[in-house]
Amino acid sequence: MTSLQADEAFVEHYQFNHDPFTPRVPGFKFFPAKRKSVLAQLHQLARYSALMQVVSGPPGSGKTLLRQALVASSNKQSVVCVAVSARQAGNSGMLLRSFSQGLGGSAQDVDGVLGQVARLNQVGQEVYLLVDDAEKLQDEALGALAALATGDADGRAHVFLFAEPELLSRLEAIGKADNCHVQQLQPYELADTRAYLAQRLEGAGQGLELLEEQQVQEIHAESGGWPGAINRAAREIMLEAMLAEHQPSVPEAGGMNLPKKHLLALGVVVAGVVLAVLMKGKEPEVAPGGSMPLSASGQPAGETEASASSAAPAIEFEGDGKPVPLPLTGQGQPVPREPLARAAGQAEVEELDASHAAVPLPAPTVSAGAPVAAEAEAPAPVPTPAPAVAPVVAAAETPLPVAAAVPAPAPVPAPKPTPAPVAPSASAAAAPAAPVPAPAASSGATGQASWYLSQPVGQYTLQLFGTNAEGAAQAMVREGGGEYRYFRKLHQGKSLFVVTYGRFSSAEAAKAAVAALPARLQAGKPWPRTFASIQQEIRQAAR
């Protein structure tokens, strides 16, 4: 039992002895509905017919279980059964060697195997040669099996092929269709599906009362009556029911039931709005002489209070682990926070300054003895995110004419002065300006969770595999392209990253898309899942 099929929580929730819907469960019994008659015909034809017996059906139709039932129901005293899978022995050489070894010999051709069969026939024992996944056989191997079924004067073998329907067209193409008797398996009817589910659940220590009649009908409709698909659909529906029981109760009309982190974020936004409203209606106190009083930290008093209230992050310079206080360019000048904020990437500081734009500030009084940094004719280059940010040049270091820095007064009363730009150092001015990198978009499981949460709950996707390493999931998504995504869930208290493919309107459409996947992904047996079940797992992992 893997984490992608049925985890321990599923077994514990329903108090199963084991997962009842895995292909091979402890003590599983052959389900005879629509299969018992086929089993009887196989035994009958093996006794009286010299033709190969072909059992055909789609994946999950019960071919392998029927082959096991045929072996189990054979008389061990008079029948010797040798079963081989064409996945391991697809060509004639490997197939004949496997049959010979099963009969206790080492023959490598048709005549050698027929000699072993003849010796067993002489002592009253029949030989059943059974090939599972026979659609994987090569044409030469099919010819060798036809020769073994025909036999010679001394004896012949009874050959049984269990394959998907594509084998029938190949037998016709190579002229072996007349040598075969075909048994095509039929899907279960609704009553058969109900009885099959009851047998599976009872084998796991429970009963059919776990499923409502509507769920049984839904399982039958989604599976088409094929046993393998019944197992997958039943597990998915029961998992959804289990998750629905653990889902929080629906709030009353007009109420709110948001997660705590969302409520906290909402509270921060509301506090910011209230602060902005209060700041708009508050006039800053101006010291005599036209300059604003400074706090102990070196900032204007109004800005110090606003910065403390909004908890704007301190600007840090590379190479120093402590925040550096913002320098002033002369007594009474407002702190030029906006250029420094851009240099350090502090968008929050820019937003705080924008909220102060509505507060009218008196123009500072500039004396001839207090020179300030002049505005450059060309705009200053955008600083790169280098290990150090160029320091602000003090007034005493670069005295410039006052007239170049003071703009003409605007017609509005008490306009806010334009902050003096930061003058770069000589080394910084000589270096070419590099573009500021844009923030990278989140490509992790948190970034992709919103896509899953926005999908209709009744639609499907294909679940490919799960991994404990998020890097492996990200590599698969990058390699596969836009139809591949992954999400994070919790499995036994640990993160599990599950990769999915596509979006489909029905389970049948999702199953049909499996054929378009690479062979290595098809080998993992992808299975359809509704977005409802995935959304539940994402929400549980986010708590």
**Higher model confidence: residue 299 or residue 68?**
68
> Cα dist. 150→153, 159, 176, 264 in Å?
10, 10, 12, 80
Integer Cα distance of 108 and 366 in angstroms? 106
Model-wide pTM > 0.75: no
pLDDT band at 372 (very low <50, low <70, confident <90, very high): very low
Higher pLDDT, 370 or 457: 457
Write a three-state SS string for 456-500: CCCCEEEEEEEECCHHHHHHHHHHHCCCEEEEEEEECCEEEEEEE
Query: Does residue 461 have a pLDDT over 90?
Result: yes
Strands 527-530 and 460-467: antiparallel
Give residue-wise pLDDT tens across range 436-451. 333 333 456 676 888 9
pLDDT at 3 over 60: no
Question: What pLDDT score was predicted for residue 502?
Answer: 94
Q: Of how many residues is the chain composed?
A: 543
Between residues 408 and 510, the one the model is more confident about: 510
3-state secondary structure of 17: coil
The DSSP output letter for 179 is G
Write the pLDDT tens digit of every residue in 187-200: 999 999 999 999 88
User: Can you point out the beta strands (E) in 4-111?
Assistant: 52-56, 79-85
Weakest mean pLDDT among 44-58, 262-276, 386-400: 386-400
Q: Is residue 463 helix, strand or coil?
A: strand
In terms of DSSP bridges, do strands 494-504 and 126-132 run parallel, antiparallel, or are they unpaired?
unpaired
Please, what are the domains in the chain?
Answer: 8-19+191-246 (no CATH), 36-184 (3.40.50.300), 445-542 (3.30.70.1070)
Q: Please, which pLDDT band fits residue 278 given cuts at 50, 70 and 90?
A: confident
Q: Read off φ and ψ for residue 369, nearest 5 degrees.
A: -90, 0
Report yes or no: 227 and 62 within 8 Å, Cβ to Cβ: yes
Whether residue 264 is predicted with pLDDT greater than 80 in this model: the reply is: no
pLDDT grade for 296, boundaries at 50, 70 and 90: very low
Residues 6+ apart with CB under 8 A from 316: 322, 323, 324, 344
pLDDT of residue 282: 54
Dihedrals phi, psi of 311, to nearest 5 degrees: 55, 45
Q: What is the spatial distance between Cα 532 and Cα 452, in angstroms, rounded to a whole number? A: 9
Number of Cβ atoms within 10 Å of the Cβ of 502: 18
